[in-house]
Amino acid sequence: MSTSRTKMIRTVLAFGLLAAGATPALAQQVPDAATATETAWTSPEWWADVNVASHHFGSADEFLGPGEHFNQSNYGAGLEWEWRPRHGASIGYYRNSVYEDSWYALYHYTPLALGRHVRVGAMVGLVNGYPGYNGGDAAPAGALVAKIEYRRIGANLIYLPHVPGSTPNTLGLQLKFRLDR
């Protein structure tokens, strides 16, 4: 196993343990009037995430070089854990947009509810596998997310903003399937 893969696996495991340790404290918080709708939330939800695709808005030539193109089929799998409607974490693997293997560990905060089945917010954490970004090693990651969930199925629409010299505006899609209940 390569050194960078070993480092990322250790990072993902550390992040998972951190999230698991923080969960009981967050779950025991006394809700105020603004979070009263969360009082019905009694146990964490577990989801299997399947990375499906991405779409890059911009020329690959600007970011990858002449004649190269982005991988728009970013297949992979992960595990998502929501311990309150607004808080969650995920870990997983996917084949990234530059045809490299990537591992990720992310915290999700989705404070905006749009009806009963859509929550909008952001994700922050670590990702590796991008040679032009921290030499492919674990690096900070951030994105906007819309979570659409209905009973046992759902989708995450993930928007990555343009980072000059690194990546164009990108929209990603994950399908998700509820594991508990």
Query: What's the per-residue H, E or C state across the chain?
Result: CCHHHHHHHHHHHHHHHHHHHHHHHHHCCCCCHHHHHHHHCCCCEEEEEEEEEEEEECCHHHHCCCCCCCCCCCCEEEEEEEEECCEEEEEEEEECCCCCEEEEEEEEEEEEECCCCEEEEEEEEEECCCCCCHHHCCEEEEEEEEEEEECCEEEEEEEECCECCCECEEEEEEEEEECCC
More confident: 152 or 1: 152
Calculate the average pLDDT of the chain: 83
Domains of the chain, CATH where assigned: 3-31+40-178 (2.40.160.20)
pLDDT tens column, 144-171: 999 999 999 999 999 999 988 778 999 9
Q: Give ∠ CA 140-156-42 in degrees, rounded to 5.
A: 95
pLDDT tens column, 120-151: 999 999 999 988 888 899 999 999 999 999 99
pLDDT tens column, 90-123: 999 999 999 999 999 999 999 999 999 999 999 9
